[in-house]
Structure 1
Amino acid sequence: MNQPIQHPVIDDRMARLRQRDCPTSQFRAYVQEISQMMVPAVTADLFTLPTQVETPLEITTGRKLEREIVLVPILRAGLGMLEGFLRLLPESAVAHIGMARNEDTLSPESYYFNAPTSLTDADVMVLDPMLATGGSASAAIDELKKHGAKHLRFACIVAAPEGLERLNSDHPDVPVYYPALDSRLNEHGYILPGLGDAGDRIFGTVQE
């Protein structure tokens, strides 16, 4: 279930983000800004419950989120999106999954998992800036489901058709949110036109 996100300000930040000469500080800031602007779309269909609210003048009925939110950045690039989501969802719990891609096989390798004790009754949002082959995202969602997660969604900044196809096939119950759908992967599994290695550019570890 694919959920493209369209917004002119996101488009503006995306163009700046893609620039080869975008410095690390600005790249990191644009990732956070785009992520923050994605939150309303990613959360638009969350379930709510009525709740009694006492205003300064009288008692009325409001709405509250039905389930706790757990944000799950896939290490390490997913950390770049976390702050943007936390700015609008500061009450969220944060889990972490470490998934490293083997550059020879393009297959994900898990090396770390840390999450709240119960994910079953939470809205779990998996964050990773790039959805390339879809292997890491699919494996991360597999791991979360093993730990009881049932209400999952995946948010990325740039997606490749191959990654969307993989995630839709492996996890048709998980909606995928993205503002940019690029054309294809190259022979090394990188998204074209893409924006380079998001983790390296977020953390300033780009190798010249």
Structure 2
Amino acid sequence: MAEVTVCDHPLVQHKLTLLREKHRSTANFRQVLRELSLLLAYEVTRDLPVELVEIETPLKAMQAPMLAGKKLVFASILRAGNGLVDGMLDLVPSARVAHVGIYRDHDTLEARRYFFKAPADLGERIVIVVDPMLATGNSATDAIDALKAEGAVDLRFLCLLAAPEGVARLSAAHPDVPIFTAAIDHRLNENGYIEPGLGDAGDRLYGTK
């Protein structure tokens, strides 16, 4: 099984509750999602490698920690993943961004990939795959399949909400990829949506309900 981290910080849980509310406006949903993604980015980057470098403060020289290695890659599962990436880039503006276009077949719930674009040197970077919902786990699994095929070896998956079924599916396919989420909800319904959940994150983010 993949390691699963549920971010239970009070601010994370408060903002997740705001996103769940049915009548929240598109503009406010978008703003709160951006704020929440920044908070989640702190958790998923907690153990990034650092190295000591020589700097000068206004008073004296010192050895101080800075991030080591090549810059991160945020891999967005289109389209809703972009809502998380926008906030994460506020925290790490130098990160590279990959895009994996996937839609879900509403009859079979299987993932259908239609687009892939990523930095060429994925194998030399930490790759954080982002999608608001880990529901069936099919889209996340397919996206990670594609990234590994292009050389990625150090991956993490970040979402707002997960269903037990999605955690099990992704863990079985990629036990080496840790999962970070704000909550694991009760179950999937017959249409493959997380319950109680927050609805379709992409529709709520872009006003396409």
Identify the TM-score tier after normalising by the shorter chain: over 0.9
Q: 1:144 aligns with which of 141, 144, 147?
A: 147
TM-superposition CA deviations, 1:116-171 (whole Å, max 9, x none) = 11111111111100000000001100100111111100100010000011111111
Q: 1:36 and 2:53 equivalent? A: no
Counterpart Cα distance in 2 of 1:130 and 1:160: 8
What is the SS of the residue equivalent to 1:157?
strand
Q: 1:80 aligns with which of 73, 76, 83?
A: 83
Counterpart Cα distance in 2 of 1:146 and 1:55: 44
TM-superposition CA deviations, 1:48-105 (whole Å, max 9, x none) = 1222222233221112222310111100000111111011101101111101110111
What is the SS of the residue equivalent to 2:72?
strand
Give the fraction of aligned pairs with identical amino acids, expressed as a percent.
Answer: 47
What is the SS of the residue equivalent to 1:196?
coil
Letter of the aligned partner of 2:64 in structure 1? G
TM-score by length of 2: 0.96
Aligned residue number for residue 127 of structure 1: 130
Letter of the aligned partner of 2:206 in structure 1? F
Q: 1:198 and 2:201 equivalent? A: yes
Runs of 5+ unmatched residues, structure 2: none
**Pairwise CA distance, 1:47:** 1.3
What is the SS of the residue equivalent to 1:137?
helix
**1:13-162 superposed matches below 5 A:** 13-67=15-69, 68-162=71-165
Aligned residue number for residue 171 of structure 1: 174
Please identify runs of 4+ aligned residues in structure 1 that moved more than 6 A.
none
Counterpart Cα distance in 2 of 1:150 and 1:130: 23
Counterpart Cα distance in 1 of 2:98 and 2:8: 28
Counterpart Cα distance in 1 of 2:103 and 2:57: 50
Aligned residue number for residue 183 of structure 1: 186
What is the SS of the residue equivalent to 2:155?
strand
Pairs aligned (count): 206
Counterpart Cα distance in 1 of 2:176 and 2:68: 19
**Structural RMSD (CA):** 0.9
Counterpart Cα distance in 2 of 1:93 and 1:167: 24
Counterpart Cα distance in 2 of 1:117 and 1:54: 35
What is the SS of the residue equivalent to 2:167?
helix
